[in-house]
Structures are given as C-alpha cells and as structure tokens.
C-alpha cells in the first residue's frame, strides 16, 4: 500500500559509472542478469545496488519488479540512512528515500539535509508527512524554497505544519515571490500606460532598507513620480570612489532624515506640510540610498522637491543632475538655507544657470554657499544688490566686506 505517498517519476539519468549497473538501469542487460540484480545477488556497492533496485521496481517483468521490491524492503535502516546522507547517492535513490513509505524520521531527516535530494521529492515529503518538525527542517533551507515554490505551497497546505514552519514558508513566499510578482505586475501596468520611465525605475529599484520595506502600494505611489527614462540619464558625475556613501541607514537615521525634510519644507514655505506630503516623504525615505539617487535623477518636480533636502549629499546632488529640472526650481534651490553646500557649488559652476541673474543673486545671499563660490559671483552682482549685501548680517563678514568694496569701487567713492 502506498497510502498518502505519491510515487514520483524516476530519473532516467544513470549516476553509477559501473558498466553492469548502467546496462541494468538502461534495460540492455539480459533477463537472468536483471533477475539476479533484483534479488541482490550481484557483487555491487551499496549505492549501486540501491540504484539498480529502484530502477528495477518499475520493470515490465513482474518477476523482476517483485524481486526488486522485496530486496529493497529488506535493506537495513542503517544502510538506507547512510545512503541518504551520501552526496554521491543517485537522485533516484534520494527521491525514493525521501518519499519512502514507513521510513523512519532519521531517514527522512537525512534526505532533507542532503543538498542533492531533488526538490520535487521534498515537495512530496512536505505534502505527505505528519511530522511538523520535518516541515520545520525543510522550511529552514530558504535557498531550496526559493528554487522550488512547490515546497512552500506543500508546507503551507499541510495540516501538520508548525507555526515556525508556516512563518518561514510565508516569509520566503512574501519576500521572493509576492514582492517580485507584484513588482512585475506594476511594471507591466506602467508600461501599458506609456510610463516607460516609471516601469524602468520600478523594475530596478530594490525597494527595501535595513529599517523597513515598502509595500506594493507604496512603490506604486512612488512610481507615479518618475518622468525620466534611463536613456536620458548621465551618471558619470558619480565616481566609483564615492560609492561608500551609499551605505545602509538605520531606522533612527531614516526617521531623522524624514523630520529634517519636513522641518526644512516648513521653514521654506512658512506653513504646515500636508499629511499627504508627509506620507510621500516617509515612503521615499524608506528607499535605500542608491534608489533615492535614481529617483532624484528620474523623478518629477514633487520628488525633486523632497530629495533636494535629503541629508545625503549624493542624493541632493542628483536632483540638480535631473534633466527635467527647471530654471525656476534652480532659482529656488539657490535660496534654500537648508540645502547642501555641495549643491550650491554645483549650481554656481553650471554655465547656463550662472547666466541667470536671480540664481547668482540668491547664491550670493545664501549663507550656505561656500565662501570661494560667493567671491567668484560677487563681480556679477548689480551695484544696488551689492550695497544691500554689504549690510546683510546673515552672510559672512568677508562677503559683506567684499560686497562693500565692489560697490564703493563702482560708485567711484
């Protein structure tokens, strides 16, 4: 009786290098040799004997098949456990041992722990066993579960599963299949809407961080803020030696960054930040640094407005590398008191932006602009603005003095 256990198709691949075994398994040996092998009368090594016996249990010759089943049933528990532990045991043998009726827990455990045991055999074992501890042992091997989702489903469908086996199987399914499937579906939906840039971003983004992870809904919302395709990106400005700045962030660092951005927006706008805006800020900050850089370079105006205030200089710098950024945005960034000094320096070095007077005027008045940058800008500032700058107590003393000198020189005083 086979009861609940299902017989898996045997692997036709012959593992043994013994020519006698190869002939028997291939079915080319004469009937007397097959019968002798089925009765265990041939001088074969234990692994070779098991490979032969298992092959012969499905023989069309009833006498051979019956003899092979009887000989196989007579094998000692010790010999079977040794075979189950041996990495050189044939896959067909390991499949038989993993799905063997009436096998001891030790035999099943040995088969589970053998990395050469075929995945479909363990899926069968996971579906049929009444031993919850064996299900836990199967669920521990996440690599195998990822390779064979059928094992996950078998564990979860088995009434004998323990809470630990269920937890591990669910975690693996959620992390490696539901998230991946959700990401694929979202990317396909975005492409169908003609939003190729958003689909590209979503397919490449890791969407996880050390402190938490984004739900599919979170990721979908972020994807709506992508407008630049990969073909339009130029990341040559990011040298390899700065990759160390892409390290992971703790939950505390992420929370601090969120609060910093919210307070910065309140300071710049003079009002409260909406609940929807706060929600988007939190979602974006859950992304890892590398993905935030990508979003800064590919995102729309709303995403840029958040990421320009990011505490990580690489992220904030990526915003001004976004090909869709407007002159008006640059003008506003040049006036920000909370933006990175590196961003202000890059704006000043951009020839196109440096020809826009409101931009250089804001840079000159911004106390965050590096002193050497301001000194290079002052000769292009209008006399009236120089006079006001010389009285501005928010800028450095050196800037005020130089502004005063230039204004005096121009007026002939």
CA distance 10 to 88: 17
pTM: 0.55
Which tokens belong to 119?
Answer: 């995945």
* Range among 35-39, 87-91, 120-124, 173-177 rated most confident: 120-124
pLDDT at 1: 29
Cβ neighbours, 10 Å, residue 219: 22
pLDDT at 220: 73
CA distance 167 to 159: 14
> What is the gyration radius of the CA atoms in the chain, in angstroms?
35
In the predicted model, is pLDDT for residue 325 greater than 70? Answer: yes
Segment 224-253 shows an average pLDDT of 74
Segment 10-14 shows an average pLDDT of 51
CA-closest candidate to residue 132, choices 97, 172, 105: 105
Segment 177-192 shows an average pLDDT of 70
DSSP secondary-structure letter at 8? Answer: P
pLDDT at 179: 59
In the predicted model, is pLDDT for residue 239 greater than 70? Answer: no
CA-closest candidate to residue 221, choices 235, 210, 205: 205
Which tokens belong to 168?
Answer: 């591990």
pLDDT at 252: 87
In the predicted model, is pLDDT for residue 384 greater than 80? Answer: yes
Contact status, residue 319 vs residue 330, Cβ threshold 8 Å: no
Query: Which range among 319-328, 345-354, 402-411 shows the weakest confidence by mean pLDDT?
Result: 402-411
Segment 42-55 shows an average pLDDT of 87
The residue that leads in pLDDT, 186 or 181, is 186
Q: Which H/E stretch holds residue 212? A: strand 212-213
Contact status, residue 122 vs residue 112, Cβ threshold 8 Å: yes
CA distance 110 to 364: 74
> Which pLDDT band holds residue 182 (cuts at 50, 70, 90)?
low
The helix/strand/coil state of 209 is strand
pLDDT at 183: 66
Which tens digits make up the pLDDT trace of 366-379? Answer: 999 999 999 999 99
In the predicted model, is pLDDT for residue 4 greater than 60? Answer: no
Alpha helices in 86-177 (DSSP H): 91-98, 105-113, 119-128, 132-140, 142-147, 149-157, 163-173
In the predicted model, is pLDDT for residue 201 greater than 90? Answer: no
Q: Quick one: CA dihedral 181, 184, 190, 194, positive or negative?
A: negative
In the predicted model, is pLDDT for residue 240 greater than 60? Answer: no
Contact status, residue 52 vs residue 33, Cβ threshold 8 Å: no
Query: Which range among 129-133, 208-212, 317-321 shows the weakest confidence by mean pLDDT?
Result: 208-212
pLDDT at 231: 78
Q: Of all residues in the chain, what percent carry a pLDDT higher than 90?
A: 50
pLDDT at 214: 61
DSSP secondary-structure letter at 11? Answer: P
Which tokens belong to 259?
Answer: 């609060």
Phi and psi (nearest 5°) for 208? -135, 160
Largest distance between two CA atoms of the chain = 122
DSSP secondary-structure letter at 208? Answer: E
The residue that leads in pLDDT, 146 or 398, is 398
The helix/strand/coil state of 72 is helix
In the predicted model, is pLDDT for residue 343 greater than 70? Answer: yes
Long-range contacts of 345-352 (CB under 8 A, 24+ apart): 345/369, 345/370, 345/373, 346/317, 346/320, 347/320, 348/373, 348/376, 348/377, 350/320
In the predicted model, is pLDDT for residue 172 greater than 80? Answer: yes
Q: Of all residues in the chain, what percent carry a pLDDT higher than 70?
A: 89
What is the average pLDDT value for the chain, to the nearest integer? 85
């Amino acid at each position: 009786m086979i009861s609940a256990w299902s017989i898996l198709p045997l692997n036709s691949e012959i593992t043994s290098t013994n020519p006698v075994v190869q002939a028997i398994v291939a079915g080319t040996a004469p009937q007397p040799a097959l019968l002798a092998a089925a009765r265990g009368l041939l001088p074969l090594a234990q692994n070779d004997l098991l490979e032969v016996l298992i092959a012969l249990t499905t023989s069309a010759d009833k006498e051979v098949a019956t003899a092979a089943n009887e000989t196989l049933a007579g094998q000692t528990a010790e010999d079977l456990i040794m075979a189950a532990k041996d990495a050189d045991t044939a896959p067909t043998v390991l499949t038989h041992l993993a799905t063997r009726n009436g096998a001891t827990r030790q035999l099943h455990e040995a088969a589970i722990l053998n990395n050469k045991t075929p995945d479909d055999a363990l899926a069968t074992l996971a579906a049929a066993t009444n031993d919850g501890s064996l299900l836990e042992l199967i669920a521990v091997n996440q690599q195998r579960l990822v390779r064979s989702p059928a094992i996950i489903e078998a564990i979860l469908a088995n009434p004998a599963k323990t809470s630990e086996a269920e937890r591990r199987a669910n975690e693996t399914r959620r992390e490696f299949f539901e998230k991946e499937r959700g990401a694929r579906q979202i990317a396909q939906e975005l492409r169908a809407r003609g939003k190729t840039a958003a689909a590209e971003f979503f397919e490449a983004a890791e969407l996880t961080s050390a402190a938490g992870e984004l739900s599919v809904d979170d990721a979908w919302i972020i994807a709506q803020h992508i407008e630049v395709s990969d073909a339009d990106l130029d990341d040559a400005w990011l040298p390899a030696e700065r990759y160390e700045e892409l390290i992971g962030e703790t939950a505390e660092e992420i929370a601090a960054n969120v609060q910093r951005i919210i307070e910065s927006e309140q300071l710049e706008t003079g009002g409260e930040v909406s609940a929807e805006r706060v929600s988007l800020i939190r979602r974006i900050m859950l992304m890892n640094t590398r993905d935030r850089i990508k979003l800064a370079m590919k995102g729309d105006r709303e995403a840029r407005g958040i990421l320009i205030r990011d505490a990580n200089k690489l992220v904030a710098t990526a915003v001004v590398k976004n090909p869709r950024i407007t002159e008006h945005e640059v003008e506003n960034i040049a006036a920000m008191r909370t933006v990175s000094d590196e961003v202000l320096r890059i704006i000043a070095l951009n020839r196109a932006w440096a020809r826009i007077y409101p931009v250089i005027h804001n840079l000159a008045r911004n106390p965050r602009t590096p002193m050497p940058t301001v000194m290079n800008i002052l000769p292009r500032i209008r006399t009236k603005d120089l006079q006001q700058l010389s009285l501005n107590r928010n800028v450095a003393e050196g800037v005020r003095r130089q502004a005063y000198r230039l204004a005096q020189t121009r007026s002939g005083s």
